[in-house]
Chains A and B, each alone.
Chain A
Amino acid sequence: MASGIKDKVAILGMGCSKFGERWDVSPDDLMVEAYIEALDDAGIEPNQLDAAWFSHHIDDIGAGKGGTPMSIALRLPNISVTRVENYCASGSEAFRGAVYAVAAGAADIAIALGMEKLKDTGYGGLPATNYGTFGPQIGPSGSAPGNFAQLASAYRAKHGVSAEDMKRAIAHVSVKSHANGAKNPKAHLQKEVTEEQVLNAPMIAEPLGLFDCCGVSDGAAAAIVTTPEIAKSLGKDNLISVKALQLSVSNGLESHHNTWDGSYFHTVRIAAKKAYAEAGITNPREEVSMMEVHDCFSVTELVTMEDLFISEEGQAVKDVMDGFYDADGQVPCQIDGGLKCFGHPIGASGLRMLYEMYLQLQGRADKRQLKNPSIGLTHNLGGQPANNVCSVAIIGSL
């Protein structure tokens, strides 16, 4: 059995651009912004980088295909740049590549950078795209909110939750994230909202209203990783190491086989179990200090609380309403505002989640700083409930 990634790789430095409607900057500028911060944080020179991973989802309105956009924007020293794309989990995928390269000894120091420039689309929300030549001939010409909204109908049917109770619980999820985002100067949305505002917002895809949907943003985030030994040799202390990196990908069971009931994420449960095992966590509700989950929509966050085994099955509505995941709750979730308010530049999001966990673990999260966190979990999901890619990463103090 594989020995796992636990404590084999440390984070040397991280950077994250301001997320939002960055009308005045280019994809290159976003990459540079995250890169410079990460490089400064790591305290290294560009020529110390051995390899790079670049996550970017929608190339036709972003930087284009391949590894060259990152190499050119950052003037990297002709090192390998591997472009990865795995839906909205692309950022975590880039991180995985860099971490594994270091763990394998193929690179001493590697960088993962994710970037997305969504606000060149011309309209709000994610761009409408085709997905191969067969899919569009049978699949609905839907949207991300329409796909994720279906969780609510299936969850309600399974657990006997009324439409009103569900709507109120997911509203609480968004109210909490807005309160957190208001304390984050890099967040796209920095304004608190009330439950009434959320409940009365225009409908996007039933039952998701405008405030149930995350920000669609421009942004970039980066992580520089190395071995704990090299990090120490570079004078680093207070090291944050990777405890677990797991990725689970749908194989069609949810979308083609009648055993899945539509109310949860099959892949999340698999990735979470593997990640806890890899990190040596046996009681996640007690041991995980904080989380950044893929709250593309409020209902996604709600059901994810159960899929990560923090809330018991059928109890997420109660835990959410009890404030269990609020900033002052037992397991604060989306302390940086989450996708909801920090924003969701797709290729950057997985790295942005790690950025917040990294800052929190190092005690550098300013107004958002939690008290003595030791384990941070990121959950980064791509695709849609019936067909997706799920990354669960755990980092913590070494």
Chain B
Amino acid sequence: MTEVGISSIVGYIPKLRLLRKSVAESNAWLAPNLMGKGKGTRSMANWDEDSVTMSVEAARRLLGPEDDRSHVDNLFLASTTMPFADRLNSGIVRAALTLEETTQCTDISSTLKCGTTALINAISSVQSAKSSYSLVLAADKRKSRVGSSQELDFGDASAAIAVSNKDIIARVIATSSISVDFVDHFRGPNEEFDYNWEERWIRDEGYLKIIPKLINNLLEENDINASEISKFILPCIFPRVPQTISKICGIDPENVVDNLALNVGDTGSTHPLLMLTNVLENSNPNEKILVCSFGGGGDAILLETTDLIKNLKNDESVANLLDNGVEETNYMKYLTFNDLVKWEKGMRGEIDRKTALTTLYRHNDAIIGLVGGKCEKTGTIQFPASRISVSPNSPDIDTQEPYKLAEKKANILSWSADYLSFSVNPPNYYGIVSFKEGGRIMMDFTDVGEGEIESGKDVKMVFRVKAIDEARGFTRYFWKAVPI
């Protein structure tokens, strides 16, 4: 049987890290019991990030800047916070990544273990030779009630994994799953927030019974000794539970890996994959790594690193992402970004954001993929493409070929910080961005820090939420520029 495994892996953690102390202190009058959780930070997505945009960002980091992404055979997107209940979310991601239309796209959702389920699906796909390169993306941006423990526990992040039959850095030894209708929490179809049952019950009857059964099934079926496992990954917000499980299963408790709780929080369906990213970025060859997840049962995936693990050198490793976060002490900003308070948007915020779906489809490559045009006669690059070239001395007709701009180098021609127009995160930064090889766009900037913007400064493109049509529940996406 062809060897199948992970060929690359990368994480994405939004830049902002909400200081838990600021949350706990603000809510201490209401929930004094949460003061003890007021340590460290949790990752906090910008207002214009969601599970789709974070997935795109992780995938871009995985795939690199090359235009040709035709090697991606299928894409599995896992999230419990898909922006659309009925619109192929992975299809938006595919279009943003300019993957081929023939890339099979699948949304996997409805349980926190969906990230590992997506990984198992990708593994199966490559093992069955239906794919030679499968892309697994997981992202979550979960809402939580003001003053809840989830507000402090949760974090926002995404991860991307390539499963392939070549260039493997961690081969798959075995996978196992169980389905148990154990309802530790649930979120109804029209609910914003989870409804949670008692933590002690979840710990004792859930984690401590379901996960050992899952692990033992995997080890027994594959005749593997638990002592061989050098790293054990299990996202769990309850302290010491992974260690207890490891003891039950015969895994060395010392091999339980850090769950990133102190700096990032629990990133939902992403978390086992984000922890795996961090582990693989710090692994040596021939290490057996067990990744488990919990939710409606559980998934277990046993991997073994190969010699190629030494080649895994992400520009932005999880360690780097942890180091480069920007501390956010303003709890109100978190609440506003997540629409958790009824805040004054002003009359300018009332503009109708109805999206003409016909227009979106006609210009899908441009809007979602940031694909412009290049005149095959003059070489003039422009965005958007048009039948008549913008080239001032050569308005050629129908000479343009699609030209991808998302990964191209660009800098700022002009900008302003606008305090007048509506913005969830004022001031509203926008301006003209010129691509070095040609083409320019008047566009929004995002993730801009104080004093970070000036004409001539380099920017990178990021796929973000453009606007949310609250009246109709539609999220509009486009690309924005981030000063670098």
Cβ contact within 8 Å between B418 and A153:
no
Cβ contact within 8 Å between B456 and A157:
yes
Asked, given contacts A128-B421, A149-B418, A255-B440, whether A142 binds B430 with beta carbons under 8 Å apart, the answer is: yes
Asked, given contacts A129-B351, A133-B359, A134-B359, whether A139 binds B442 with beta carbons under 8 Å apart, the answer is: yes
Cβ contact within 8 Å between B366 and A146:
no
Cβ contact within 8 Å between A134 and B391:
no
Tell me the bound Cα distance from A153 to B392 in angstroms.
25
- Show 12 residue pairs from A and B whose CB-CB distance is below 8 angstroms, ordered by the A residue: A130-B351, A137-B355, A137-B360, A138-B367, A146-B418, A153-B415, A154-B455, A203-B417, A256-B439, A258-B439, A262-B432, A386-B442
Does chain B have a CB within 8 A of A235? no
Main secondary structure of the interface of B (DSSP, over half): mixed
Cβ contact within 8 Å between A138 and B366:
yes
Q: Which residues of A contact B (CB under 8 A)?
A: 121-123, 125, 128-130, 133-134, 136-143, 145-147, 149-154, 156-157, 202-206, 208, 251-253, 255-259, 261-263, 385-386
Rounded to whole Å, the gap between the CB of B362 and the closest CB of chain A is: 8
Main secondary structure of the interface of A (DSSP, over half): loop
Tell me the bound Cα distance from A146 to B351 in angstroms.
17
Inter-chain contacts of A256 with B (CB < 8 A):
382-383, 390, 439-440
A134 — nearest CB in chain B belongs to which residue?
B359
Cβ contact within 8 Å between B392 and A259:
yes
Asked, given contacts A125-B420, A204-B420, whether A137 binds B478 with beta carbons under 8 Å apart, the answer is: yes
The range of chain B's interface size is 35 or more
Inter-chain contacts of A253 with B (CB < 8 A):
390, 392
Asked, given contacts A143-B420, A259-B392, whether A153 binds B455 with beta carbons under 8 Å apart, the answer is: yes
Inter-chain contacts of B427 with A (CB < 8 A):
205-206
Cβ contact within 8 Å between A143 and B418:
yes
Tell me the bound Cα distance from A203 to B419 in angstroms.
7
Q: Which one of A202, A204, A253 has the greatest number of beta carbons of chain B within 10 Å?
A: A204
| Contacts A147-B416, A153-B455 supplied; 18 other A-B pairs, CB < 8 Å | A125-B420, A128-B348, A130-B351, A137-B363, A138-B366, A141-B421, A141-B423, A141-B467, A142-B418, A142-B421, A143-B420, A146-B420, A205-B416, A255-B440, A258-B434, A261-B413, A262-B455, A385-B414
Inter-chain contacts of B346 with A (CB < 8 A):
123
B357 — nearest CB in chain A belongs to which residue?
A133
In the A-B complex, list the 6 residue pairs whose CB atoms are closest, starting with the nearest. A146-B418, A140-B430, A150-B414, A133-B356, A149-B416, A157-B455
Cβ contact within 8 Å between A137 and B351:
no
Which residue of A122, A125, A140, A205 contacts B443 across the interface (Cβ within 8 Å)? Answer: A140
Tell me the bound Cα distance from A138 to B368 in angstroms.
10
Cβ contact within 8 Å between A140 and B348:
no
Cβ contact within 8 Å between B348 and A123:
yes
Does chain A have a CB within 8 A of B352? yes
Inter-chain contacts of B430 with A (CB < 8 A):
140, 142, 146
Q: Which residues of B contact A (CB under 8 A)?
A: 346-348, 350-353, 355-356, 358-360, 363, 366-367, 380, 382-384, 386, 390-392, 412-423, 427-428, 430-432, 434-435, 438-444, 454-456, 466-467, 476, 478
Tell me the bound Cα distance from A128 to B346 in angstroms.
11
Inter-chain contacts of A143 with B (CB < 8 A):
348, 418, 420-421, 428
Inter-chain contacts of A125 with B (CB < 8 A):
420
Rounded to whole Å, the gap between the CB of B413 and the closest CB of chain A is: 5
Which residue of B353, B358, B421, B440 contacts A258 across the interface (Cβ within 8 Å)? Answer: B440
Inter-chain contacts of A259 with B (CB < 8 A):
392
Inter-chain contacts of A145 with B (CB < 8 A):
416, 418, 420
Asked, given contacts A140-B428, A146-B430, A259-B392, whether A205 binds B419 with beta carbons under 8 Å apart, the answer is: yes
Inter-chain contacts of B367 with A (CB < 8 A):
137-138
Rounded to whole Å, the gap between the CB of B418 and the closest CB of chain A is: 3
B362 — nearest CB in chain A belongs to which residue?
A134
Rounded to whole Å, the gap between the CB of A33 and the closest CB of chain B is: 28
Inter-chain contacts of B348 with A (CB < 8 A):
123, 128, 143
Asked, given contacts A137-B367, A140-B430, A257-B390, whether A146 binds B442 with beta carbons under 8 Å apart, the answer is: no
Cβ contact within 8 Å between A128 and B351:
yes
Inter-chain contacts of B456 with A (CB < 8 A):
157
Tell me the bound Cα distance from A150 to B386 in angstroms.
26
Inter-chain contacts of A156 with B (CB < 8 A):
455
Inter-chain contacts of B443 with A (CB < 8 A):
138-140
B392 — nearest CB in chain A belongs to which residue?
A253
